Amino acid sequence: MPFDEDALAGALRGLGVREGGVLLVHTSFRAVAPVEDGPLGLLRALRAALGPEGTLVMPAMTDGATIFDPRTTPTAGMGVTAELFWRQPGVLRSTHPGGSFAAQGPHAALICAPQPLSPPHGPQSPVGRVHELDGQVLLLGVTHSENTTLHLAEVMAGVPYSVSHPCVVEVDGVARTVLIAETDHCCRGFRVADEWLRGRGLQREGRVGSAPARLCHARDLVALALEHLAVDPLLFLCPLGTGCEECDLARASVP
C-alpha cells in the first residue's frame, strides 16, 4: 500500500516539522516511495505539514553547461521531487546560474532574491536566508552529505579551500563562461554532523514513508559546524592519500 498524503504529513509533523515555519528539504524520492500520486503526493504532504503560513524550499541546481533560465532550465542531480517542485504554480526560483533554489510560501521572494555568483551557498544565498529566518533542514532518505547548509557554515567559518567551476552566463546578450568559486569537495565528510547533532540532542530522526528522515534547525547545525571548523578548518575533507580526487583538489587549493 502506498503512503498517502495524510500519512506522510502526519509523519512529518511527528518528526517535528514546524507549522508555519521555513523548511529546506533535500530528498531522494526513491527512498520515500511508494507514495500515492508519486512525487506530487510527497510535495502536497510537505505543504500540508507546513500549512499556508509555512515556506517550503528545495534545491534547483543546474549543471551550468547552458545559459540558465529559471523558467526552463532543468535541475541536475537534485532528484525528481526537486525537479517537479520548481515547475509547480506559485513556486519561485532564484537566479543563480548553477546554485538556484525554489521556494513557495510567505518568505519565498526573500529566499529567492538575487545573490552574488560566489559563493553559491553563502550568507546572501537562499540557504543563508533560510538560516537567517531560523528555518529547519529536512533530509528525507539522504544524509548530511547532501546538506547545503553545511556549505553555508564553511563560508561563515572562512575555510581556506575553494575550487572554481565553469558556468555559462549571459552578459549583455552574449553567452560567456565564468568561473564560480565554491567550497567544493566530495561532501562525504559532512556526515559527521550526525554525531554532533545527536550528541547535543539537536536532531530529530524517524521515518517518513519508507525513508529514514533527519530534521534539525539550520542555526543549530551551523553553530555546531562553526565550533568544529574553528578547531580544524579542513575537517570536512577526506584525509590525504585516501584517493578522493575532489577532496585532494580542495586541499591543493589551500594557500
What whole-number distance in Å separates Cα of residue 111 and Cα of residue 218? 14
Would you say 213 or 247 has its CB closer to Zn ion?
247
Cβ nearer to Zn ion, comparing 103 with 244: 244
Residue closer to Zn ion by CB (options 157, 244) is 244
> Exposure of 13 by Cβ count < 10 A (0-12 exposed, 13-18 middle, 19+ buried)?
middle
Nearer to Zn ion, 42 or 150 (CB): 150
The grid coordinates of residue 81 equal 521531487
Provide, rounded to whole angstroms, the least separation between the CB of residue 6 and Zn ion.
40
Helix (H) or strand (E) holding 136: strand 136-140
In the complex, least distance from residue 145 CB atom to Zn ion, rounded to whole angstroms: 10
Cα–Cα dist 152/108, whole Å: 19
**Closest distance to Zn ion from the beta carbon of 229 (Å):** 16
Identity of the amino acid at 70:
P
Query: Shortest Cβ distance from residue 233 to Zn ion (Å)?
Result: 15
Residue placing its CB nearer to Zn ion in the complex, 42 or 186: 186
- List residues binding Zn ion (CB under 5 A): 186, 238, 244, 247
Torsion of CA 60, 31, 223, 59, to 10 degrees: 0
CB–CB of 148/221 below 8 Å? no
Measured from the CB atom, the residue of 186 and 218 that comes closer to Zn ion is: 186
Q: How far is the CB of 185 from Zn ion (least distance, A)?
A: 5
Task: Print burial letters for 214-235: b (CB count within 10 Å at least 16), e (below 16).
Answer: bbbbbbbbbebbeebbeeebbe
Cβ distance 153 to 221 under 8 Å? Answer: yes
Shortest Å, Cβ 244 to Zn ion = 3
